Amino acid sequence: SSPSSSSSSPAGPSARSRHSAVLYDVDHSVLIFGGDSDGRGRGCLNDLWSFNITTQSWTLLSPNSTSSAVPSPRYGHYMTVYKGSVIIYAGTNYVGSTSAFSRARFTDMWSFNMSSLAWTLLSGSPRPWSSVMDYT
């Protein structure tokens, strides 16, 4: 069955790069998660969109109100579909002030259940670890 959501928009998601996309066969849609909105890794996103191939329409899939945990904004992550859920793993973000950014890499795995519209942390810490080159 098609997922319900809180927002439908013909315009769809904002422009982005380094996002992930998968085909969700259940309702003939393409799902897009996260990415980078400024091309430099400093405008990371954590939104999940569905493009229905049949109706040619975009829907923002928002977590239900009882789900408080969501993945941190990221780009360069992995994404797949497994048994009615979207799974994302890892990714990168930048942290810090505008004058002193450092790269942060994630090692967490999240599941978004397409029926209940809820994110669940499956493994790892939702906090990023810094790359070796960022240590002082």
110 Cβ contact partners less than 8 Å away, ≥ 6 residues apart: 71, 87, 88, 89, 119, 120, 121, 122
Q: What is the DSSP string of 14-54?
A: PP-BS-EEEEEGGGTEEEEEEEESSSSSSSEEEEEEEEETT
CA angle 129, 104, 122 (to 5 degrees): 60
Q: Which two tokens stand for residue 44?
A: 């990371």
3-class DSSP assignment, residue 134: helix
pLDDT digits (tens, 9 = 90+) for 94-123: 776 555 567 788 889 999 999 999 999 998
Q: Taking the complete model, does pTM exceed 0.75, yes or no?
A: yes
What pLDDT shows up at residue 99? 57
Q: What is the dihedral of CA 82, 54, 119, 19, to 10 degrees?
A: 90
118 Cβ contact partners less than 8 Å away, ≥ 6 residues apart: 63, 64, 66, 67, 112
> What is the average pLDDT score of the chain?
82
Average confidence (pLDDT) over 52-74: 87
pLDDT digits (tens, 9 = 90+) for 40-53: 667 899 999 999 99
